[in-house]
Structure 1
Amino acid sequence: MAATTLTSGTAPSTRPRLLRRVLWVFQIFFGLFLIGASALPKFAGQKDAVETFTLIGWGQWFRYVTGAVELAGGIGLLIPRLAGAAAAGLVGLMTGAALTHFLVTEPVWALLPIGMGVVFALIAWDRREQTRDLIRSLKR
């Protein structure tokens, strides 16, 4: 029998609708936030972004890479088939951001990526079946 069969007879898509709706609200909010308020200022060379990445010390190329990952993750959160995979990737990005804030910039700012990372982890967990299906379709 397939490993995805549940003993209760319910499909993963019939999980509580309230949780799914709440997560969609977070997905839309954070997707738009990552695109408009986080990635685009990095690409535009906003003064704060340039100063932050100068402080980090890896060069401005890293600002563009970070912006590209945020843009891709934000778009992925808005596409149902990609939402779980995008959220999983964003957990890694938020881990790096939290460590950077804690070790290089201002430790209290690590709370924001930690909180976002927790939400992304919940989204990735809730969308895990869609992510498995996506991976299977890529293997074909």
Structure 2
Amino acid sequence: MGVLSIILQVLLGLGFLMFGFMKFGSKQMVDEFGRYGYPGGFRIFTGLVEVIAAVLVISGIWNDKLAAWGGLFIVGTMIGAIFTHIKVKDPVNKMMMPIVLLILGLIVLFINFGSLL
């Protein structure tokens, strides 16, 4: 595994830990999920998925299969985030972070995809 891949996985992992934990109690996240029309339980579920993805991606530094699964979780979560922003008719600038994270998740997934086969 290259240095660039390790840096990417650490940054993604730390970012998703932060985003995931924010979903558990941040007033901003409570308000946003309310605006999206999602129940509080879905906010908690999303936070758990993001924390799990973060742990998998960081653990993937030592185990390619875990990195691939973490990348897959990130890709799925970000596709859901993008569709949510489209659903509530948010402007494109609100979708930029999920789009960037989707691309980075895809990179991690593709780098480590062979370990899933």
Q: TM-score, normalised by structure 1?
A: 0.74
* AA matched with 1:25: I
Matched, 1:99 2:83: yes
Taking the aligned partners of 1:51 and 1:75, their CA distance within structure 2 comes to 26
1:128 pairs with one of 108, 113, 116: 113
Q: Which has the higher helix share?
A: 2
Which ranges of structure 1 fall in alignment gaps of 5 or more residues?
1-16, 133-140
Residue 39 of structure 1 and its aligned partner are, at CA, apart by 1.0
The percent identity for this pair of structures is 26
Task: Give me the whole-angstrom Cα distance separating, in 1, the residues matched to 2:30 and 2:108.
Answer: 30
After superposition, where does 1:47-58 map in structure 2 within 5 Å?
Answer: 47-58=27-38
The match for 2:7 among 7, 13, 25 is 25
Per the alignment, residue 57 of structure 2 pairs with 77
TM-score between both structures, scaled by the size of structure 2: 0.88
Change (3 A) 1:25 1:105: farther
Unaligned runs of 5+ in 2: none
Q: Which has the higher contact order (CA 8 A, sep 6+)?
A: 2
In the alignment, the residues of structure 1 paired with residue 11 and residue 29 of structure 2 have an alpha-carbon distance, to the nearest angstrom, of 21
RMSD: 1.4
How many equivalent residue pairs?
Answer: 112
State the secondary structure of the residue aligned to 1:58: coil
Bigger Rg, structure 1 or 2: 1
